[in-house]
Amino acid sequence: MTQTPVRFGLIGTGRIGQVHAASIAAAPDATLAWVADPFIDGANAVAAKFGGTATASAEELISAGAKGEIDAVLIASPTPTHVDLIEASVRAGLPVLCEKPIDLAIARVDALRPLIAESGIPVALGFNRRFDPDFKSARARVAAGEIGDPEQLIIISRDPAAPPADYIKVSGGIFRDMTIHDFDMARFFVDDIVEVHATGTRAFDPGAREHGDFDTAVTTLRASSGAVVTIINSRHSAIGYDQRIEAFGGRGMLQVANAPTSLVSLSTAEAVEAKPAYGEFFLERYAEAYSAELGEFIKLVRGEASTSPTFEDGRAALILADAAQRSATEGVAVAVDLGA
C-alpha cells in the first residue's frame, strides 16, 4: 500500500472505543490522529498508548477534521450522542464509522437521514458480526447456492450475563440493545423482511423486571420470499457467550458452531467428549471481526468498493427492533417496510 494511512479521530474511549483504538494502531493503513472523551483521563490514556492528540471535546476533534487534520471519525461514545456527532461529522465532510445503534428513537434517525443522503458522505455502522470469518463464510456459501433457496434462518444469541439494572434502564430494551445485532445478521442473510413477531419474558433477571424489560426473547421475522428468521435471545448463558447460526434451505443446511476455547476433550466414566465452556464475551469472540470491520471502512473512506454496513442498515435494524418491541408488548404481528 503506497497510500497515505487514514487518520482517525476517535470519539469515546470506553471498552469498545479502546478496541477500535487498538485496531487503528495495529492497521498498517491507519493512524490515530485525535482522541476525544469528556472523561479526559480516558482520552489521555488512549492517546498515550495508541497515539494522537487528546481532547475532552468532540467538537474540537471534528473541527480539527474540518481543518484537514483527520480523514474519518469513529464514534464509540454513548448512544444518545450518536446522531449529533454523525451530523457534525457529515457537515464537516468527514466519513463516519458509528457504533450501533444509531439512536434509540427512529424519529431522530429519520430526521438525520436526508442530510446523509444528500451529503454523499459515507456513514458506516459498526455491525461487526458481518465481518466474523465464519458468519461471512456461511453467508457467502448460502449466496453460492450450497443449501438451495434459503427457507429458515435460526440465530441463537445469548450473552454471558445480564447487564446491571442501571444499564438496562437506559438500554432501550433488549430488542434495541442486544437483538439489534441479530436483526442486522438476519438482514445479512435474508433481505426482504416484511413482518415481525416477538415474544419477550422475564425469566430470571431482577433488572429486567424492575425496568419493564425482557431477559428472554424470541423474534420471528417473515420475508416476502416465504423465508422465516428466528432469533433466540437470552441475557445470560452459563456456558459462555452463545453465538450460533443455522441456515436451512431446500438442499440442506449450513451451521455455524460456537467457537471452541480448546481442542482438548475429556472422556471418563461420568461423561465422554466433554470440552471446556465457551469464551467470555464479544471482545474476544469477535476480535478478528473488529479488525476486518475497520479494514473495510478504510476502503469506504478511500472510495473503494466496500461491504461496510451503512446508515440505512442501521436504520433498518432499529425499525425491526421497534417492531419487535411493539409486537412483544401488544401481542400483534407488526408489518415493516424497510424500503429495500
What are the Cα distances from residue 168, in Å, to 129, 156, 206, 278?
22, 21, 10, 24
For a second copy, the binding residue among 158, 176, 187, 315 (CB under 8 A) is 158
**Residue that the C-alpha cell 445478521 belongs to:** 185
- Joined together, the cell numbers standing for residue 37 give 472523551
Residue 326 has, within 13 A of its CA and on its CB side, a CA count of: 13
Site for a second copy in 212-271 (CB under 8 A): 216-218, 220, 222-223, 225-228, 230, 232, 234, 236, 238-240, 248, 250-260, 262-271
**Burial environment of residue 225 by CB neighbours within 10 A (0 to 12, 13 to 18, 19 or more):** middle
Decide: 20 and 290 in contact? Cβ < 8 Å: yes
Instruction: Give least dist CB 151 to a second copy, A.
Output: 4
Which of 326, 180, 152 lies closest to 254 in space, CA to CA?
152
**Whose Cβ is closer to a second copy: residue 80's or residue 148's?**
148
**Whose Cβ is closer to a second copy: residue 97's or residue 229's?**
229
Decide: 198 and 217 in contact? Cβ < 8 Å: yes
Indicate the pairing of strand 216-223 with strand 123-125. Answer: unpaired
Which of 216, 234, 214, 258 lies closest to 158 in space, CA to CA?
234
Helix pair 287-301, 15-26: axis angle to 10 deg = 60
Instruction: Give least dist CB 40 to a second copy, A.
Output: 26
Instruction: Give least dist CB 228 to a second copy, A.
Output: 5
Decide: 46 and 54 in contact? Cβ < 8 Å: yes
Instruction: Give least dist CB 101 to a second copy, A.
Output: 24
- How far, in Å, CA of 194 to CA of 336, rounded? 5
Instruction: Give least dist CB 186 to a second copy, A.
Output: 13
Instruction: Give least dist CB 277 to a second copy, A.
Output: 5
Instruction: Give least dist CB 323 to a second copy, A.
Output: 12
Instruction: Give least dist CB 206 to a second copy, A.
Output: 12
Site for a second copy in 30-89 (CB under 8 A): none
Instruction: Give least dist CB 238 to a second copy, A.
Output: 5
Site for a second copy in 319-338 (CB under 8 A): 331-333
**Whose Cβ is closer to a second copy: residue 70's or residue 320's?**
320
**Whose Cβ is closer to a second copy: residue 161's or residue 170's?**
161
**Whose Cβ is closer to a second copy: residue 96's or residue 153's?**
153
Site string for a second copy, 187-216 (x = CB under 8 A): --------x-xxx-xxxx-----------x
Omega before residue 80 within 30° of 0, cis: no
- Joined together, the cell numbers standing for residue 285 give 469472540
How many positions of this chain bind a second copy (CB under 8 A)? 71
What are the Cα distances from residue 256, in Å, to 84, 152, 188?
37, 14, 15
**Whose Cβ is closer to a second copy: residue 73's or residue 221's?**
221
- How far, in Å, CA of 204 to CA of 171, rounded? 18
**Burial environment of residue 50 by CB neighbours within 10 A (0 to 12, 13 to 18, 19 or more):** buried
**Whose Cβ is closer to a second copy: residue 4's or residue 265's?**
265
For a second copy, the binding residue among 118, 144, 164, 273 (CB under 8 A) is 273
Site for a second copy in 93-152 (CB under 8 A): 133-134, 137-138, 141, 146-149, 151-152
**Whose Cβ is closer to a second copy: residue 212's or residue 331's?**
331
**Whose Cβ is closer to a second copy: residue 117's or residue 203's?**
203
